[in-house]
Chains A and B, each alone.
Chain A
Amino acid sequence: MAQSSYKHLDETWQQDRRPDRKTLKRLYNYGIPYLKQFILVFILIFATIGMTLLQPRLIQLLIDNNISILVNPATSQAENSQALTGALQMGLLYLGTVVIAFLSSYGQAYLLQKTGQKILKTIRQSLYDHILKLPMTFFDSYPQGSLMTRVTNDTETINEMFTSVLSNSLRSFISLAGIIVIMFIMNVSLASYVLLLLPFVIIISVIFRRIIRKIYFAQRRALSIINTKLSENISGMRTIQVFHRQKQVGAEFDEVNAEHLRLSQKEVTYYATYRPFIETIRALGIAGLIWFGGRQYLDGIITFGVLYAFIDYIQRFFQPILELAETYNIIQSAMTSSHRIFQLFDQETEDEGGNVSVPVEGLKGKIEFKNVWFAYIEEEWVLQDVSFTVEPGEFVAFVGATGAGKSTIMHLLCRFYDINKGQIILDGTDIKEYNLRGLREAIGVVQQEVFLYSGSIIENISLNRPRVSKADARRAAEIVNADSFINNLPERYEEQVSERGSTLSAGQRQLLSFARTIAAKPSLLILDEATASIDTETELLIQDAINKMSSNRSMVAVAHRISTIADADKIIVMHRGRIAEQGTREELLDQDGLFNVLYKLQYEGY
């Protein structure tokens, strides 16, 4: 079973990589605003390579024009001292190339990295902003972990594309071209000889690259499978131990690990063959150069300096070719990451709604559901033909078993999802006509799960919304009776909290959530099981808060606690996605229906 598991994981992994030309184009669009920087980088690369390539040439001139005179016993004193000054000048010139090369290569690398970082920041920010605008349906189906990877790691890989790939390939091409040009200027026949080696090197590189690339990716895949297995087995360790499968699981892991080792050894061997192969060609080139060049020197066709320079150049000649081959791996993984990122960018963002804006004074709060049908997954109806009306200022409560569709109604009111059939009308206008942002601002939702952001209490109430001042936030905390516990915190409103590692009780968190909602003075209030996790102590405080909050606005609530909905003007009992009963508490208690059962559950039992 183990090898099948390896194969399967292997396949799923492979499906993930499908880069194309379009991806590359989109990627480079991000570079366009930095054209100036890239041009400057190009110039600096040019300068750096120019300087480094000048160096062998300077040594050649030094040997031919100066040293040859100095070592010749036949030259005069005057010639000698002139050659010496010339040599010193050459030395200084060499120093000049070293210094300029230093400055330009540092400048180039710095500028390039800085630009890369800026591009990276832009991509990351726009990706993040895009994600925030995606509809809820997207978040229901896309794994959270993958989303994280897109924003964090994948963008990082793209950065490589703009920095190392771009500069390495440019550098390699320029120096290759530069070496060829200089060599031809110095001596055409020797240059042609060196050039003759190029096809061999390229052919060998291409062949080796093909093989190595395959193995490299197979090896990377094996590694990612190791990680998958590892995380799965660590999380499922208990199960493994309880079934006493350590040996088998160990053997399975060993298999994957051994596969990785096998591929690694292959990779090592191929690299170990490739480099020496190229080096052999280089040695062959140098030997040939000595042979050809030596004879030309003997025949007086070239100077010794030229021969020396050629030997130097031929050594530099191979470097860019080797480097070009290395960049290929980076391009591959950067393309995969970009492809994934752009796929995410291609996800359509949430519909921003129509152009009806919520009036400044707020909504009146008349809600009408007209024969609403809704399904999260096609054909699996969660709401079936639901119709009801909430009059302005009314408090309507929804009750029913888990999964009856209560919370769905709340989600639809906020337009987290769009309905399949029917109509939802708010103050006489279809909710689709409202501007989405305005709609959500006008509706205040208290959710069951309170999400705390890392920051202070006051920030968690105001959420840094521009329309909520600090004073608003404090007043809201007072209204919902949260100020008493906040004032008992060491830093009061400035106390730092975070989602993990917070010491606030469930009830306190819930009070914060009430404050958060009420701070923006919504004209319509939704409580989505907001009182589910509250201790009896806070219950009274919250009850009081709810009463205050609902006094001047429409309120719709889903609640498990009968006490929460005790004051409701109307109670709607949901059952299998339909409305089963509705009426006031007294009316419903008189019937022998669902509500009666629910009520008993709450007050009898325990």
Chain B
Amino acid sequence: MREYQTIFPFISANKRRYFLGIFALLFVDAANLLIPQIMRIFADWAQFGELTRDRIIWAAGVILLLGLMVAVGRYGWRVYIFGTARRLEYWLRDKLFKKYLSLDDQFFNHHRTGDLMAHVTNDVLMVRHSMGGGIIMIIDAVFMTLFTVIMMIYTVGLRTSLVALLALPFITIVVLAMSKPLHQRSREVQDTFSELSNEVQENISGINNIKAFGIEDRRSADFYEVNNKYQEKNMGMLRISVLFDPLIELISGISLVVFIIYGINRIREGSLTLGDFIAVLNYLRMMVWPLVAIGLVVNSFQRGIAAMGRINEILAVQPKVSEADSPTRIEQEDTQDRDSNPGLNIEFRDVWFRYEENLPWVLQGVSFELKDAQSLAILGRTGTGKSTVLNLLLRRYDVSSGQILINGTDIRDIAFKELYEKIAFVEQESFIFSRTIADNIAFSSDGNYDPERVRLAAEFSQVAGDIEAMPDQYDTWVGERGVTLSGGQKQRLAIARAYYQDSDLLVLDDSLSAVDTNTEREILDHLDEVQRGLIMVSQRVSTVQRADQILVLESGVISQRGNHKSLLQDTDGFYARLYQRQLLERKLGEESGEVTQHGSKQL
């Protein structure tokens, strides 16, 4: 139960609710326990001929009163206990999500989205169940069992009670015995379900392969096997689960019969009245649920504990990249005039980096400096560490050795808020959120965006024309993860988003790859005009050639540096060769023109 420590603050904040809920529940239980007593008194009056009209009215009145008490009490515990469990669900979900927001790339690279979602949905639900239905089960199991037995002993004495109750504990035994294999088999069902999902997924993604080879029948047969297995696993579970209710009915029925036969003899002896008999029949029926609850509660809390454990694991994660306790402010001259913004001074000092201790170096002694709102470009093939440089600058990771300085301050001493306000980033794979176009562009605002600035940003990134052709223009709703947009549109939207942020430094991570050459040129022209620092990473010479400073990165090492002109001098160098090659490609591209845009339709 130590796992539940996490929710102690919640419980103590909701003490009153839990207290009232449990009180209402006990109230209901008490009223329920009294009903058989009224029936007993009523039956006894009838048996001994003492029943009068007044007494009938009294009995009916008391039954009605008790009924109303049960109703009111039940309303109370449902609202207080179930309602509070829902609050707990909200509270935990919020806590988890806020935690996710604080974790770093390393964490998200090691956890699958599906699993992270499962914590927020399924695990939270399981905790909710244990703290809602689970509490009801504990109270009912303990108090109902105890008080029903007490009432029975009070009514008919110890011996008769024992005989009547003889068979009932088997209910708990059966429930306990069943819950384990049931849980295990339901896991098997879940596993087979994943197998089934994988089979479907595999085949749907390879559908053109299936069609090309005409192997639909074979794939269908394979699916049949999994499908069949799934059915069998399900039946394996159902064989037990469908036994649950009938078996409990059977046991409670048997205990009733045992009591009937025993009770008849006691009645004959005169030591049991008709009223006693009827009361015990009622009590026996009332005992069934608490005894089932004893069995279920174990299972419910077991699952709750497991779920809580998984949640705690997440909540305990400390991001490797963390904010300094007392951050230093970036020193910067205050200028009102944007045009004379001196920009940021970025310095990489002998930066070495690897993702983990036992992995090879990604960057080996990278040093460079960027100042005075100049532009810097990093060129290289895929996997040479270009994006890593940007990741380090954005503190997605911390350097293994060396230093990154912004205006002379170590990046690790700068507050996240300040860092990310100073740097506007355009990712390689632009992530677009499901909201309106304007909301996406003004992502860095607090919701009250300036429409004029949004439009300017869109124009800057050459996406304004596309947006204005859309039905609702800037209010057009973008589907989940931008599915309604083309790759190029997404990239340009991401550039607009970064431009809107109006930061001192703009960082582009191969962000023009899906944009056609003409548009790229226009965007680059715009980038030239803005007076702020610029760092861009690309595989294309055409993208980087205007930069004030160009770094060529090969296997994590800067192999060449200079500007376009100086780099072309070295005709055997990587830069010059790539330039030649891309010139040819460009020629080819110009001749094939716009067709490229439709290339995405390929299988």
Contacts and interface: CB of A to CB of B under 8 A. Distances in A.
Interface in B31-81: 39, 42-43, 46-47, 51-53, 56-57, 59-61, 63-64, 66-68, 70-72, 74-75, 78-79
B110 interface: no
B267 interface: yes
A87 interface: yes
Interface in A106-128: 106, 109-110, 113-114, 117-118, 120-121, 124-125, 128
Contacts of B201: 144, 148
Given A234-B117, A407-B602, A88 B261 contact: yes
A138 B388 CA distance: 39
B585 A601 contact: yes
Contacts of A407: 602-603
A94 B255 CA distance: 11
A322 interface: no
Main secondary structure of the interface of B (DSSP, over half): helix
Nearest to A125: B227
Instruction: From A8, A283, A520, name the one whose CB has the most chain B CB atoms within 10 angstroms.
Output: A283
A80 interface: yes
B439 interface: yes
B72 to A, nearest CB: 7
A264 B88 CA distance: 12
A151 B64 CA distance: 52
Interface string B572-603: 00100110110011011101111111110111
Interface string A49-63: 000000000010011
Contact of A243 (B103, B239, B436, B444): B444
Interface stretch (B146-154, B178-186, B216-224): B216-224
B277 interface: yes
B253 A577 contact: no
B434 to A, nearest CB: 6
A280 B67 contact: yes
Nearest to B600: A403
Interface in A446-479: 447, 451, 453-454, 463-465
Contacts of A499: 202, 205-206
Interface in A185-243: 226-228, 230-243
Interface string A143-178: 110011001100000000000000000000000000
A354 interface: no
Contacts of B43: 304, 308
A377 B600 CA distance: 12
B582 to A, nearest CB: 8
A291 B121 CA distance: 51
A139 B214 CA distance: 16
A434 interface: no
B253 A235 contact: no
Contact of A264 (B89, B193, B218, B588): B89
B477 A91 contact: no
Contact of B102 (A67, A246, A275, A304): A246
A275 B78 contact: yes
Contacts of A271: 78, 82
B529 to A, nearest CB: 23
A230 B120 contact: yes
B519 interface: no
Contacts of B602: 403, 407-408
Given A84-B264, A234-B100, A304-B43, A575 B591 contact: yes
A243 B501 contact: yes
Contacts of A497: none
A248 B433 CA distance: 13
Contacts of A253: 94, 97
Main secondary structure of the interface of A (DSSP, over half): helix
A132 B210 contact: yes
A288 B227 CA distance: 55
B126 to A, nearest CB: 15
B256 A144 contact: no
B431 A304 contact: no
Nearest to A440: B214
A243 B443 contact: yes
B228 interface: yes
B83 interface: yes
A148 B200 contact: yes
B215 A465 contact: yes
A445 B580 CA distance: 35
A125 to B, nearest CB: 6
B588 A401 contact: yes
B480 interface: yes
B249 to A, nearest CB: 6
B278 interface: yes
B371 interface: no
Contacts of B471: none
B204 A1 contact: no
Interface in A269-302: 269, 271-273, 275-277, 279-280, 282-284, 286-288, 290-291, 294-295, 297-298
Interface of A: 1-2, 4-5, 8-9, 59, 62-63, 66-67, 70-71, 80, 84, 87-88, 90-92, 94-95, 97-99, 101-102, 105-106, 109-110, 113-114, 117-118, 120-121, 124-125, 128-129, 131-133, 136, 139-140, 143-144, 147-148, 151-152, 226-228, 230-246, 248-250, 253-254, 257-258, 260-261, 264-265, 268-269, 271-273, 275-277, 279-280, 282-284, 286-288, 290-291, 294-295, 297-298, 304, 308, 311, 376-377, 380, 382, 400-405, 407-408, 411, 414, 416, 437, 440-441, 445, 447, 451, 453-454, 463-465, 499, 516-517, 520, 575-577, 594, 597-598, 600-601, 604-606
The 3 closest A-B pairs by CB, nearest first: A283-B67, A403-B599, A605-B581
